[in-house]
Amino acid sequence: MITKRIIPCLDVRNGRVVKGVNFEGVQDVSDPVQLARHYSDEGADELVFYDITASFEGRKLFTDVLRAVAEQIFIPLTVGGGINTVEDFDRVLKCGADKVSVNSGAIRNPDLIPDAAVKYGSQCVVLSADVKRVDGQFHVFSQGGRIDTGMDALEWIRHSVELGAGEVVLNSIDTDGVKRGFDLEMLNAVTEIVDVPVIASGGAGCIQDFVTLFRQAPGVDAGLAASIFHFGEVSIRDLKQKLTENGINIRRI
């Protein structure tokens, strides 16, 4: 059977990885290529790169980094951040990205998801949704989780999948940074209404959180995290070992 995926996410600003402490065998943890190789060797099933620069020069550095990673690391690469047009898809796909995630760009431009899906295929288009509870309802937030769009998140996700998004990254603002586990309620609500892969993001604090995720939200395909991997709190090798011990089907290295 298809395996559950573990996905580290790397924030890149001006060509360097933001955050990160020391890893054994990694001399420069802000070098995206070194860090990508480290994660890949440890058993990461996919890597997500978020471009958090806004300047033209930053974008150029980002695509240089992406190309360097894609030349050396042979697992699927997803790119997000600053994707507003089909030309942005083209720019990162040419540098070796396999999938492209859209967030605020898709909210601003309703044609972005369908246009990109027609041109590159749905498997290439990932909807990244930042979602938070407002008065007991799930709302979509934009601009890095700062602005409440007022849109119902379940409607937005269902609609985006109908338009051609082939995968959903669900980032719960409510659990993000809290490190007390993924937002199982929100995840289960989403996996019930879409039939594309759903990636859980926001809330991982320890290995047990991933075990709980795959047990209690069985429709979820992958767990994504950033800081617990970057700060060395959880190693992907240990995590996968624990998941195997708990009977969860993962790719072994």
Partner 1 sequence: MIAIVDYGVGNLFSLQSSLHSLGLDAVVTADPKAIRNADRVILPGVGAFGDAIDKLRSSGLEEIVLEQAVSGKPLMGICLGMQLLFEKGYEFGEHDGLGLLRGSVVPMQGNIPDGLKIPQMGWNALIPKRAHPLLKNVKEGDCVYFVHSFYATGCEDSLVAATEYGKELTALVARDNVMGCQFHPEKSGPVGLSILKAFAEMRS
56 binds partner 1 (CB under 8 A): no
32 binds partner 1 (CB under 8 A): no
Burial (CB count within 10 angstroms: exposed 0-12, middle 13-18, buried 19+), residue 10: buried
51 binds partner 1 (CB under 8 A): no
Catalytically active residues, by annotation: 11, 130
Count residues near partner 1 (CB under 8 A).
31
Nearer to partner 1, 55 or 249 (CB): 249
For residue 103, the minimal CB distance to partner 1 (Å) is 20
**The only residue of 18, 26, 58, 76 in contact with partner 1, by rule CB under 8 A:** 76
For residue 70, the minimal CB distance to partner 1 (Å) is 6
Residues 117-136 touching partner 1, rule: CB under 8 A, are 121-123
Q: How far is CA 90 from the centre of its chain?
A: 19
5 binds partner 1 (CB under 8 A): yes
Specify the stretch interacting with partner 1 by CB under 8 A; choose among 47-55, 68-76, 209-217, 224-232.
68-76
The rounded distance, in Å, linking the Cα atoms of 125 and 174 is: 25
Q: Which residues, at least 6 apart from 145, have a Cβ–Cβ distance to it below 8 Å? A: 130, 132, 171, 173, 176
**The only residue of 75, 189, 206, 248 in contact with partner 1, by rule CB under 8 A:** 75
**The only residue of 32, 80, 197, 202 in contact with partner 1, by rule CB under 8 A:** 197
Q: Which residues, at least 6 apart from 87, have a Cβ–Cβ distance to it below 8 Å? A: none
Specify the stretch interacting with partner 1 by CB under 8 A; choose among 21-29, 141-149, 189-197, 209-217.
189-197
**The only residue of 42, 167, 176, 183 in contact with partner 1, by rule CB under 8 A:** 167
247 binds partner 1 (CB under 8 A): no
Nearer to partner 1, 194 or 207 (CB): 194
Q: Per the structure block, which two tokens stand in for 189?
A: 């609500």
Specify the stretch interacting with partner 1 by CB under 8 A; choose among 65-73, 135-143, 177-185, 234-242.
65-73
CB burial of 136-152 (b: ≥16 within 10 Å; e: otherwise) equals eebbbbbeebeeeeebb
**The only residue of 24, 195, 245, 247 in contact with partner 1, by rule CB under 8 A:** 195
Binding site for partner 1 (CB under 8 A): 1-3, 5, 40, 45, 67, 70-72, 74-76, 93-96, 98, 121-123, 166-167, 195-197, 221-222, 251-253
